[in-house]
């Protein structure tokens, strides 16, 4: 039931932050935690044991992509997602709602303006229709027509064997009117009930379901959505959709939802979808978020960017820029990742990424995930020790980093 999925171990006075244990069928996750993406059944470039050795306890797979290729039937036959990809720990799967609606942003925008969506309907990887039943779209893999609905998404996540399934929601784009967001949020609430009904009857034992709070950037709708999701039978709660177009707005929007999720609902785990900048993670933890997922650390790594304790540059070092080309220093002194502990220079890594060598992508991915794991470990330990304010301040000032 609702309280069994999560144990709060410590709270930080003066903030909403908490440290806890998220209990899943494949083990516990110490929170707050960052969840690396294994969108297509792999954390790109890494082996499962490498991801685990960095300190990560859960990864996130994606319903939309895995349904299109290789298909949940094959994955189920080969041991579910855990067996298929060789990851024995907890797995959360995204419902596919975000991918389906992102794919159709142009179409959705046309729809809002009252234009027919037919302009893009013939293109591979496009939305054909959105209605109460679900979303019909064309696969980007083979051009075939596909259909996702609350029930289909839950059935796919059941076949994948996810420890945590996310409900199928309509992910509302940012630049839409209040009326559109309202209709979309109400539909998401109806879809939430359909997901939970399906799961109650057919869902695998031990699989947790997270509802998703929508409501765009409108305070009344965000708060209302949080209350509706909190009142449902879901075991955990995710915050999704448009959170605004700048950081302060995002913190405000997340804060509204978090306020509604306190009190009697606080023992349910909370996940913030798709957010992963260093300062956003720190603030998210202060706002009471337990888990985060984001493409940023791994995607940056594949594109020649390393995470470093440099808040003025958004904690990023672009190795494609000039100053790294002849720099003999490691990415970061004291970092235990293979690149830094192996004595590899910024110059060497800069060369590897410019030459598009796979080793460069791997080394930067390992370094960036090491940085993320270190940040989350420190925030968690600070909450347990009651020192979050000092630790968060030092991180924001760039005085502190995972190995300082
Ligand atoms: Zn490193």
* SS3 of residue 146 by DSSP: strand
CA distance to 47, 202, 314, 394, per residue, from 310 (Å):
29, 49, 6, 12
Q: What is the CA radius of gyration of the chain?
A: 21
pLDDT at 120: 42
What secondary structure letter does DSSP report for 37?
A: B
What is the Å distance from ligand 1's center to 307 Cα? 9
293 included as an active-site residue: yes
Q: Which domains does the chain have, with CATH numbers?
A: 2-294 (3.20.20.105), 301-396 (no CATH)
pLDDT at 403: 66
Residue of 163, 169, 280, 293 with catalytic role:
293
């030092």: which residue's tokens? 394
131 included as an active-site residue: no
Q: How many CB atoms lie within 10 A of CB 163?
A: 24
pLDDT at 105: 58
pLDDT at 165: 98
The sheet that has 6-11: what strands, in order across it?
A: 6-11, 18-24, 27-31
Long-range contacts of 299-305, Cβ-Cβ distance < 8 Å, separation of 24 or more: 300/364, 300/368, 301/45, 301/361, 301/364, 301/365, 301/366, 301/367, 301/368, 301/369, 302/44, 302/45, 302/361, 302/364, 302/365, 303/353, 304/350, 304/353, 304/354, 304/360, 304/364, 305/364, 305/368
pLDDT at 160: 98
- Which residues in the chain land under pLDDT 50? 1-3, 106-123
pLDDT at 4: 78
What is the Å distance from ligand 1's center to 343 Cα? 10
What is the Å distance from ligand 1's center to 1 Cα? 41
Kind and range of the H or E element at 23? strand 18-24
What is the Å distance from ligand 1's center to 201 Cα? 47
Residue of 94, 163, 169, 224 with catalytic role:
94
What is the Å distance from ligand 1's center to 368 Cα? 7
């Amino acid at each position: 039931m609702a309280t069994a999925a999560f144990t709060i171990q410590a709270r930080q006075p003066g903030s909403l932050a908490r440290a806890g244990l998220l209990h899943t069928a494949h083990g516990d996750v110490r929170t707050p935690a960052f969840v690396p993406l294994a969108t297509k059944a792999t954390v790109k470039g890494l082996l499962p044991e490498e991801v685990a050795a960095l300190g990560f306890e859960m990864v996130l797979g994606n319903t939309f992509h895995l349904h299109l290729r290789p298909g949940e039937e094959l994955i189920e036959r080969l041991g579910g997602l855990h067996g298929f990809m060789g990851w024995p720990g907890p797995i959360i799967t995204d419902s596919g709602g975000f991918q389906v609606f992102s794919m159709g942003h142009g179409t959705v925008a046309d729809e809002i303006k009252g234009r027919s969506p037919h302009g893009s309907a013939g293109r591979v990887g496009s939305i054909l229709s959105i209605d109460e039943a679900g979303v019909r779209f064309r696969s980007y893999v083979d051009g075939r027509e596909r259909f996702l609905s609350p029930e289909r998404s839950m059935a796919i996540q059941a076949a994948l064997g996810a420890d945590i399934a996310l409900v199928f929601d309509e992910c509302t784009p940012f630049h839409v009117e209040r009326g559109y967001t309202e209709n979309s949020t109400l539909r998401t609430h109806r879809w939430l009930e359909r997901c939970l009904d399906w799961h109650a009857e057919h869902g695998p034992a031990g699989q947790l379901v997270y509802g998703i709070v929508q409501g765009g950037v409108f305070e009344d709708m965000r708060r209302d959505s949080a209350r509706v999701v909190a009142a449902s039978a879901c075991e955990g709660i995710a915050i999704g959709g448009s959170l605004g177009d700048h950081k302060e707005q995002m913190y405000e929007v997340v804060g509204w939802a978090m306020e509604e999720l306190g009190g009697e609902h606080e023992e349910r785990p909370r996940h913030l979808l798709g957010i992963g900048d260093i300062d956003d993670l720190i603030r998210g933890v202060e706002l009471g978020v337990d888990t985060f997922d984001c493409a940023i650390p791994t995607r940056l790594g594949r594109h020649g960017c390393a995470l470093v304790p440099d808040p003025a540059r958004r904690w990023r070092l672009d190795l494609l820029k000039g100053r790294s080309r002849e720099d003999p220093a490691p990415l970061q002194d004291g970092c235990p990742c293979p690149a830094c502990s192996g004595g590899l220079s910024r110059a060497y890594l800069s060369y590897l990424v410019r030459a598009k060598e796979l080793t460069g992508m791997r080394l930067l991915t390992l370094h960036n995930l090491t940085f993320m794991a270190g940040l989350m470990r420190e925030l968690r330990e600070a909450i347990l020790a009651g020192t979050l304010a000092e630790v968060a301040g030092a991180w924001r000032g760039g005085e502190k980093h995972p190995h300082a």
